[in-house]
Every structure is written in structure tokens, then in C-alpha cells.
A and B are shown apart, each in its own frame.
Chain A
Amino acid sequence: MPISMQLPDYLVDRDPNRCITCKVCVNQCANDVHHWDKDVDSVIAEEEKCVNCHRCVIYCPTHALKIRRNPTEYKENHYWNSSTIRGIDRQAEGGGVLLTGMGTDKPIPIYWDRLFLNASQVTNPSIDPLREPMEIRTYLGSKPDNVIIKDGKLIKELPPQLVLDAPIMFGALSFGAISLSAVKSLAKAATDCGVMWNTGEGGLHRDVYEYGKNCIVQVASGRFGVDAEYLNAGSAIEIKIGQGAKPGIGGHLPGEKVGEEVSKTRMIPVGSDAISPAPHHDIYSIEDLRQLIYALKEATRYTKPVSVKVSAVHNVAAIASGIVRAGADIVAIDGVRGGTGAAPLRTRDSVGIPAELALAAVDSRLRQEGIRNQASLVIAGGIRNSSDIVKAIALGADACYIGTAALITMGCRMCQTCYTGKCNWGICTQDPKLVKRLNPEIGAQRLTNLIHAWSHEIKELLGGMGINALESLRGNRLMLRGVGLSETEYRILGILPAGE
């Protein structure tokens, strides 16, 4: 047998006519793909190490580099395809659980693309957001069963609410998984845009306490960085039960990524694994969940909404009902396409259900039970653009989390090797040399651009439907029609086929 049966996934094409041996690629690649051979004064590539992150391609001043998929074919086989063979080869050599990063790349049906929005024609006018006010401000939190108004004033006190200038929030990305530069970019952008960012389970670094007003602080099973000051630093608290990329699996930050700053923020020794197992060991039932929700409410004197985040799984509607009855103010549901810094491949690709179906099922169930007002609904897991958000809101969401889209905004090229800690874009790494590559000011500006662009698009789409307030679209499934779905899917989504 040869040492390894594996072929390089990518080939590095270097145009010798263009290459000026400036060695930028050698310096830029944290995966050590490029080497300068001084004997022949040329740069050579160790292609086995290439993850196709485009760092060298974009930084090459003469555009001498191209990365392409290794064109070598296996004997044609629909069932035992190259990806299947590759997985077996890697495990035959490594003997471990296959580990990957980002959300699933499998061709799971994309329901967003089968849903179409309505627009006004003739009988009711569409609205032009350039000239008319358009309300997309969003309040997240429990709404009372009724309101009491006296002399034009609300006299019944409302439970605490999160106020968002757009129905978009940055999803949980923990410091440890991502760099402090990335955290600062998200925190600053959320503050500038009047939306929320989420600490994930990695605690709150001292440098970002100033962005606490626009922050949701997370409490996960490992309870990293959780103390009274942290709980009071944010505007809401989120109990993380599950994550769309790895339902039923806990978080596991490898020791390589636990440097001095992460150690200080998480309160664990430098170099030790940060282990956050699947269950919270004080939660084994809805009653126990209620206990943690109320412990957090007591600890923050009932001033902050408490969110509970779960992965979209088979019984998600019943689970969400339990969460609302346990006293959560916000239910966040993360679909199967949700991203991650590290997840076992088989879990990522085959556990959980799509966000679209989970969202529709949960919204329907909470309405049937008459408790939809008691909690806001946040959907996550593969939101790509503003029309996904508008469709999500029509299906019943109050707001969306974006994670992967925010990472792409900061420069991520989706190479799916976040868990190695060698992110060449300075996003998903703790290596000080790499972290410096992401400028938080620029990162924040790009994220702000994205939120502003999407906000405008949301207004355009709303205006087209003749709706001037996002509130009028929430759960308004008549604004949706589907194409090419089965009868069961139409029933679950609660929408009609196009033409009906």
C-alpha cells in the first residue's frame, strides 16, 4: 500500500509567465501550501494542504494563481462517488470522527427557492419606499394577551422587549471559534445598525463590553464566561440548547484555539479543550428549562427577555410549545443548514430538518395553541439574502439570525476548515498573525453595508406587496405561493400552489 490513498482535493495552477516569485503566496498561506525553492528560484506548491480559501489567489499581484478541483476521476459510480470514497480513505488513515466546518454542503431541497412572494397589481396599489414611510422596526419579546389603554396611554406594563431597526440579527458566533477581530466587527456593525449580535457560548471579551446594549449573551452547557456582570451586560439572554449544524451534539473548542485571551474570557486553562456537552446537566425536562429561565430572570431582575435556541428537529413544534410554556420570551430555531466552527460531518449533513419547514410547523402550532403572542420566533440556518428573510417573516418568523452570510461579508470563502484554527482571512482563528488580517473597522463597515442593503430590499419587497409595515406581513402566508412541492409540503408550509 502507498502511504496515503488520498489525492489532493485541489490543484494549484501557477502561470510561470505571470509569477514574479514575489512570495506573497508563501507569506499569506497559513496552511503552508506554497514554498519558495531557492535552488531554482521558483515557488512550488504542496497541494495536499490546499483548502481552496482563495487567500493566495486574491493577494497574487500578477493573477498568476488559479485553484481548481482535482480533475482526476474515480471509476464512474453514482453510489460510491468520490466524496464517499474520500471519507472512507480519511477514516482508514486517521481513525477518527470526520470533522468539518460551516453548514452542510449537501443538496438538501431549498424551500426558499420554491416560495414566491406576491405583488400588488391594479386592485391595490404598491407602495414606493423611496417616497413613503416603511416600518421594519421589530420588537422581540413576550406580548401580553391584551393591552389596557387609558387616556391614550398604555397602562399595563409590557414584558421587556428587544428593539431592532431591521429584522436581522447576527447569530451566535463565539469568541474562541472566531477571532476577536471578527467579534468586534459584528459587535460594532450591530450597534451601528441598531440590531443585535450574539456572543455565542464563549463569554464576552473585555474589549466588547461597550457593545453590550446590542448584544444577546448566551448561556450554554459549559457556562463559559457566565457571571452576573455578563448576564447584565447584554440586552437579552439566550439559553443555547441546540445548534442547527449539530443537533444533539455539544460544542468542543479544541485546545489549539484556547490562547491567553480565550482562556481569560472562558475561565479555563490555556491549551485545554473547552467542552460544552450536548445537555445542560441541570435541564432534563421542560420544568428544568423553566427553572433556568427563571434563575436568569431573577438574576437580571426581570429586565431582559430570555431566548431559548434549539435545533430544528422532528418534534420541533411540540418542543417550541414547551419552551414557550416554560416562560421563554423568544424561541430561536436553527435549521439543518446552520453553520458551525466545527461539527462531525455525519451529524452536520444528516441530523435535523430544514428551517423553512420547522418555522412553518412551529408558527402553526403556537397559533393553534393560542400562545403565539407569548414569545417571538427567530429563525436561523441558511438565510442567504433579503428575500429569504421576507419569506421567513411571511411564514411566521419575527426576525432572522444570519451567521454564514455575515462571515462571507467579512471575507470567508467557505473552505469549511474553520476547526483547524488556520483561517487565512483572520475570522476563524486565534493566531495573532492571522487575526490581524481582519480589520474590525472594515469588517464592521462591510457588515453595515450588508444590513443597510438588505433593509432597503426588504422595504422594496414589502412595498411591492402593498404593505407598509413588516408587522402586517408576519405569518401572512397568503403572500406566499409555492411551486413544485408535494401536497404534504404545501400543508406543512400552510401555503397554496402558484395559480391557486
Chain B
Amino acid sequence: MTMTIDAKGVYYKELNHNLRNHLDKGVKEILVQNVNGQRYIGDGVTGSQRLILEGTPGNDMAAFMDGLEIVVKGNGQDGTGNTMNQGRIIVHGHTGDTTGYAMRGGEIFIRDYVGYRVGIHMKEYKEKIPAIVIGGTAGDFLGEYMAGGIVVVLGIGLKEREDIVGDYCGTGMHGGIMYIRGQIPEYNLGKEVKIVEMTDEDKALVRGYVERYVTYFGGNVKSILSKPFNKLIPYNKRPYGNLYTSW
């Protein structure tokens, strides 16, 4: 059963306190209406429940989150999924800067575009591999210092002469993979990353994410996959290994 909470005019502290109380009591799904900039929704919450947010949640939504599914019927702001550990975020709109900063696990699907420094410091350990799937374009410093995880950029609705990613894409990257649909201009790439051939496993992986994207937001898998993807990986695990001389 879905519980409904009206967030209109409610200060973030009170809203989050209420949400946590209900989740603690075992409510499986909460629909929050009229969300209007309240920060920190779902921060540090552990569990497998579901939140549906109507409106625009504020910064640091789902920071340190551990397992929930959050569906945003609107746009996300900065720091969405900041240092998230597990769970899923589905945003029916765009999100701001540092989406998925230092993500350790779970998934974020964004229908439209994202801001700067998305997916930076993403990590992975063995089978725990976080993923961010972006429907539109990404701003500068996508995947900066990435140490693991997967970033997929679909560039749906890309305008003529519009770049799919911003400058310094993958700067300082030393782990993980980015899959970018279509051509990436050389000048957008950081000097620590290179473009390599897609293998069959890569293609299967990308197809899986595209199918999920279409399930959440609509669209046509075949037409999205008709444009070839580029795979970006770092040159090595130690981008700054030769920087120093022993004193």
C-alpha cells in the first residue's frame, strides 16, 4: 500500500524526519507530493522501500543512501546520489552537478541531461559496480577521477553541433568504463582516457542499460542502439605514478 505525504511548505528537517519514521515502521512505498527544493531526502537511509517524489527535490538527495528506490517525477538538483552505496534513482527530468559523486553501488537513470562533474570519484569493488545512465548530454568533467563503475551517455535529441559531453571528460580517470553514444570530439577528452573498440560483452551490457532506460522513460531500443557507441577507458590505474622523486 502506498502512503501519501504532502510536502508543501514543510521544512526539510521535518519532512525527512517523517519519511525516516515511516520507513522505520516498515512502510513499503511513500508518495511525496509537492516536493519543492527540500534537501537531503533519503540521505543515509537503509532498506528496500520505495519513494516517489512529485516535484523538485533539493540538493544531496539520496546521499549515502543504502538500498532504496527513489523515483523523481520532476528534476533532481545538485549532488543527487552523492556517495550512494546501493539502490536505484530514476529521474524523469534532468539533474544538476556532481550527480553520483563517489558512488559505490546502485544505479541512477536520468531521462534528460546532467550538470558538471557527474560520476566523479565513482568506485567499484568486485561485483559491486555502480552505474549512471544519462539520456541527454553531460557537462564538463564527466567521470573525473573515476576509479570504477559505469557511465552511459545516450545523447538522445542531440542538436546539430552540440557536444554530447563537456570538456575534460575522464580527466584523472583510473578505473571504470564510460560508454558514449556517437562521436566524441577529441578536444573533449581528458588526457588520461582513450577510446577503444566495443566488445560483444560491452554491447550486451549497453543494450541492457538501454532496455532499462526505455522501460522507465519510453523510446525505442532499436533506434537508440542504431548509432554506434564509443568505449572510454583510462590508460592506466596510476595516472600520477611517475610524478614524484624521492627526497
Contacts and interface: CB of A to CB of B under 8 A. Distances in A.
A272 B246 contact: no
Main secondary structure of the interface of A (DSSP, over half): mixed
A91 B245 contact: yes
Interface in A255-271: 255, 263-264, 266-269, 271
B175 A227 contact: no
Q: Which 5 A-B pairs have the closest CB atoms?
A: A299-B44, A94-B245, A223-B102, A96-B245, A272-B237
Given A267-B128, A277-B145, 7 more contacts: A98-B246, A99-B247, A223-B102, A275-B145, A282-B60, A298-B40, A301-B44
Interface string B116-151: 010011011100100000000000010011011000
A281 interface: yes
A94 B246 contact: yes
B20 A301 contact: yes
A345 B239 CA distance: 20
Contact of A223 (B46, B121, B148): B121
Interface residues of A, number: 53
Contact of A97 (B82, B128, B245): B245
Interface string B55-80: 00001100111100000000000110
B83 interface: yes
Contacts of A274: 147
A269 B237 contact: yes
A416 interface: yes
A323 interface: no
Contacts of B65: 228
A281 B117 contact: yes
B1 interface: no
A297 to B, nearest CB: 9
Given A291-B59, A298-B43, A282 B239 contact: no
B123 A98 contact: no
A295 B238 contact: no
A228 B85 CA distance: 8
Interface in B17-76: 20, 39-40, 43-46, 59-60, 63-66
A277 B141 CA distance: 14
B109 interface: no
B45 A228 contact: yes
B35 to A, nearest CB: 15
Contacts of A231: 44, 64
B240 interface: yes
A236 B138 CA distance: 36
A457 B26 CA distance: 53
Contacts of A417: 246
B240 A252 contact: yes
B245 A298 contact: no
B242 interface: yes
A252 to B, nearest CB: 7
A292 B43 CA distance: 11
A99 B246 contact: yes
30 contacts: A90-B246, A90-B247, A94-B245, A96-B244, A97-B245, A223-B102, A226-B64, A226-B104, A227-B64, A228-B45, A228-B64, A263-B125, A264-B125, A267-B123, A267-B125, A268-B123, A268-B148, A269-B148, A272-B147, A272-B174, A273-B240, A281-B98, A281-B120, A281-B141, A291-B60, A295-B40, A295-B63, A298-B16, A298-B43, A417-B246
Interface string A415-432: 011011000000000000
A228 B245 contact: no
B196 interface: no
* Main SS at interface, chain B: loop
A433 to B, nearest CB: 22
B147 to A, nearest CB: 5
A275 B148 contact: no
A353 B241 CA distance: 30
B101 interface: yes
A351 B124 CA distance: 34
B44 A300 contact: yes
A281 B98 CA distance: 7
A96 B247 CA distance: 10
Given A222-B102, A227-B104, A269-B148, A295 B82 contact: yes
Interface in A429-461: none
Residue of A231, A274, A298 ringed by the most chain B CB atoms within 10 A: A298
A294 interface: yes
A420 B245 CA distance: 11
B247 A345 contact: yes
B148 to A, nearest CB: 7
A275 B43 contact: no
B246 A229 contact: no
A295 B43 contact: yes
B174 to A, nearest CB: 5
Nearest to B102: A223
A268 B141 CA distance: 20
Given A228-B65, A272-B147, A275-B145, A98 B247 contact: yes
A125 interface: no
Contacts of B16: 298
A133 interface: no
A221 B60 CA distance: 15
B172 interface: yes
